[in-house]
Amino acid sequence: MTGIPHDLRDTEVDRDTVERRLAETWRTRRGFWGAIATVDHKIIGRRYIVTAFVFLLLGGVLGLLMRWQLATPEGRALGPDLYNQVFTMHGANMMFLFAVPVMEAMAVYLVPLMVGTRNIAFPRLNAFSYWIYLAGGLLLWVAFALDMGPDIGWFGYVPLSGPQYAPGKRADIWAQMITFTEIAALAVAVEIVVTVFKQRAPGMTLDRIPLFVWAMLVTSFIVMLAMPAIMVGSTSLILDRLVGTHFFNPAEGGDVLLWQHLFWFFGHPEVYIIFLPATGMISSMLPAFVRRPVFGYLALVLSMVTIGILSFGLWVHHMFTTGLPRLGESFFTASSMAIAVPAGVQIFCWIATLWDGRPVFRTPFLFILAFFFTFVLGGMTGVMVASVPLDTQVHDTYFVVAHFHYVLIGGAVFPLLGAVYYWYPKIVGRMMSERLGRWVAGLIFVGFNLAFFPMHILGLQGMPRRVYTYQADLPWGPLNMFVSLSSLMLAAGFLLFFIDAVRSARSGPPAGDNPWDSPSLEWATTSPPPPYNFARIPVVTGPSPLWENRDELPVASGLRLDRREIVITSVADAVPEARESSPRDSLWPFWAALTTSVLLIGSIFSPWAVVWGSIPVAIALIGWFWPKGTPEDEA
């Protein structure tokens, strides 16, 4: 530090100067290249969230197309080939391009604010992550528009996805899209873990971390442990297809069930990668609407950690009909049922929070109530499918379709929509409409249950999943028509939600810093937050900082104004350890993402793309990491 002439600290000047100088230091340059180069977690987070919701909209349209086709027996809206592309796209899009990224996107925006720091850890990696995610999404959708959309199911079972039965490039596009989204997700996971461990505001000890942040921490570890399995799987599949390896070819000593193990070793934790952040959102939103801190903080944290660990012991329940040894299957029945216990702990703690609360029925709270109704029901059917014998009747039927939509829409999308209504004022600076919000919540809740509950019955009545049509003499017609009509109501709710979100950005009433009188740190700054998040880093003295310090938060000072600096604190007790510089804006992450995308997409067509494509990637990475003598290299 010594020897730098202009070491301007925030202790030396008044607040106005502090804010002016910080804004100067942290701002994103105007113009196109400034926008490309930014590493501000708020701008990237916003992009991430908007992109994910665009994919939700597109995926929803695919869902409606499927319902159009299935409304009547022998429907002729989509042919079998297009239907198979549509249902594959719907699943892959919703899981890989919407559900996981949107949760990470919310975390990219919120976690640094909630832990009281000025940017996410590894902000350039964060920018890289977004560009890679965008490229993966574009790859999938452009391919679909060119009639090259994958048609092998979102799970891509071999041999159907293998070289022999999936000619053309459709399966490769699916497998490579996975590579893109996995890279993006792994990058964000690493950033979140480091941000939470090392950048928490002074005083934010482990037992004062907001529960959404805890949820994201656990989720990030699940991502880091689960995603490598699918990357091994999809890479082996690409190798089987591209260069003729035989990982999954039984005729050459490969094994088709190996794919299912790899896929579900990732695929089941995936559900919790989506669900845990949603529970974190509930735990973090609930206090504002019941006017008291959440009950059972420690129990909630421990149950999230338990779910995270157990989630790796359940994958075989997706394979109960493959003829695995019975003793093994019984073990997985027990472990699948066991996860109901930590999930139950969370539900009971929230109910105990409600019990002495003074409920304020605003839109986010309505979504939380919709979550209770729907998710608990989905949990119950989850217990049913955990039973091996029972699962042999409902596996791969509409019962399972109903079950996982209850868990994923009820358990994750409802809290997410609530979270959008809740954090929108922080992100945009304006409130969403309370009047429209009630309609949105009502239409989505009623429409969802009308559309998906009958699917349980359809499944028990023998209707398998992933069929593009069914015959008129089967008894499924009336219920399918009912489901399809109800899906329009659900769609109307989502449409209204999008209208509200777009309209409120221009005309919503100004929000102020803390419109819900919430207790956590993200509400301690302006809405939307300035580029530097906090003029002075807050010091945390309890689990509900804004309720404990009604007048003014204690702050830490001593950071430099003339370069991007953040406070590094210790992992357990959040004791300040050091000032560290945070990277400036850079175009290199964009170039690195672009060259990586060219390599990955090129490799679908020729293995040589890996050889030649790695040269520009290497150039971009060298540029990215080249020592430039800039301040961040001196810390």
Partner 1 sequence: MRLRHLIVSVLLPLAAGGCAGSQSALDPQGPNAASLAWLIGAFTIVCGIVWLLVMIVVGVALLRRRGAAEPADTPLAEDPGRERRKGAVVLAAVLATVVIVTGLTVISYLATHSLTAASGEPLVVRLRGYQWWWEVTYTSPSPDRFVTSANEIRVPVGRPVRLELSAADVIHSFWVPSLAGKQDLIPGRDNQLTFTAERPGIYRAQCAEFCGVQHARMALVVVALPPDEFAAWLDGQLRDAATPANEEEAAGREVASGKACAACHTIRGTPAAGTLGPDLTHVASRQTIAAGTLPTTRGSLAAWIADPQGVKPGNKMPMVPLSADELRAVSAYMASLK
The footprint of partner 1 on residues 535-554 (CB under 8 A) is 544, 547-548
Using the contact rule CB under 8 A, the part of the chain among 155-163, 269-277, 490-498, 500-508 near partner 1 is 155-163
Q: Is 325 exposed, middle or buried (0-12, 13-18, 19+ CB in 10 A)?
A: exposed
User: Is position 151 an interface residue for partner 1 (rule: CB under 8 A)?
Assistant: yes
Which residue among 21, 27, 138, 159 contacts partner 1 (CB under 8 A)? 159
Question: Quick one: 330 or 630, whose CB is closer to partner 1?
Answer: 330
Q: Which of residues 233-252 bind partner 1 (CB under 8 A)?
A: 250-251
The span from the CA of 398 to the CA of 491, in Å, is 20
- Residue from the set 168, 475, 510, 607 that interacts with partner 1 by CB under 8 A: 475
Among 89, 310, 345, 601, binds partner 1 (CB under 8 A): 345
- Between strands 555-556 and 537-538, the pairing is antiparallel
What is the footprint of partner 1 within residues 491-530 (CB under 8 A)?
A: 517, 519
Supply 111's token pair: 């976690």
Of the pair 361, 608, the CB lying nearest partner 1 is at 361
Q: How many CB atoms lie within 10 A of CB 631?
A: 17
Radius of gyration of the chain (CA): 25
With CB under 8 A as the contact rule, the residue among 302, 351, 615, 618 that binds partner 1 is 351
Cα separation, 81 vs 79, in Å, equals 6
Size of the site for partner 1 (CB under 8 A): 90
Positions 308 through 327 that interact with partner 1 (CB under 8 A): 321-323, 326
78 to 75, 87, 443: CA distances (angstroms): 8, 11, 27
Q: Which of 11, 24, 373, 554 binds partner 1 (CB under 8 A)?
A: 373
Q: For partner 1, which is the closer residue by CB, 176 or 333?
A: 333
* Phi, psi values for residue 566, rounded to 5°: -130, 165
List % helix, strand, coil for the chain (3-state, nearest 5): 65, 5, 30
Rounded Cα gap, residues 594 and 507, in angstroms: 36
569 DSSP β-pair partners:
576
Q: How far is the CB of 276 from partner 1 (least distance, A)?
A: 19
- Within 8 A by CB and 6+ apart from 304, the residues are 211, 214, 215, 218, 276, 279, 280, 342, 346
Residue 173 and residue 70: Cα distance in Å, rounded?
27
Closer residue to partner 1 (CB): 220 or 381? 381
Place of tokens 């993966």: 136
Residue 594 makes contact with partner 1 by CB under 8 A: no
| Among the listed residues 454, 388, 442, the one whose alpha carbon sits nearest the alpha carbon of residue 414 | 442
Task: Give the one residue of 377, 444, 537, 540 binding partner 1; rule: CB under 8 A.
Answer: 377
Q: Which of residues 110-139 bind partner 1 (CB under 8 A)?
A: none
Q: Give the pair of three-digit tokens for residue 133.
A: 């995610």
Q: State which residue, 244 or 462, has the beta carbon closest to partner 1.
A: 462
Mark the segment that binds partner 1 (CB under 8 A) among 77-85, 532-540, 560-568, 569-577.
77-85
Taking CB under 8 A as the binding criterion, the range among 101-109, 395-403, 577-585, 594-602 that sits at the site for partner 1 is 395-403
Q: Of the candidates 180, 212, 468, 494, which one interacts with partner 1 according to CB under 8 A?
A: 468
Under rule CB under 8 A, which residues in 165-184 are in contact with partner 1?
A: 165
CB of 541 to partner 1, least distance (A): 12
Does position 76 bind partner 1 by CB under 8 A?
A: no
Residue 81 is a binding residue for partner 1 (CB under 8 A):
yes
- Residue 297 within binding range of partner 1, rule CB under 8 A: no
Compute the least distance from the CB of residue 463 to partner 1, in Å. Answer: 9
Per CB under 8 A, 256 contacts partner 1? yes
> Cα 451 from chain centroid?
24
CA-to-CA distance for 405 and 403, rounded, in angstroms?
Answer: 6
Contact, 364 vs 418, CB < 8 A?
yes
CA distance 328 to 345: 27
Min CB(177)–partner 1 separation in Å? 19
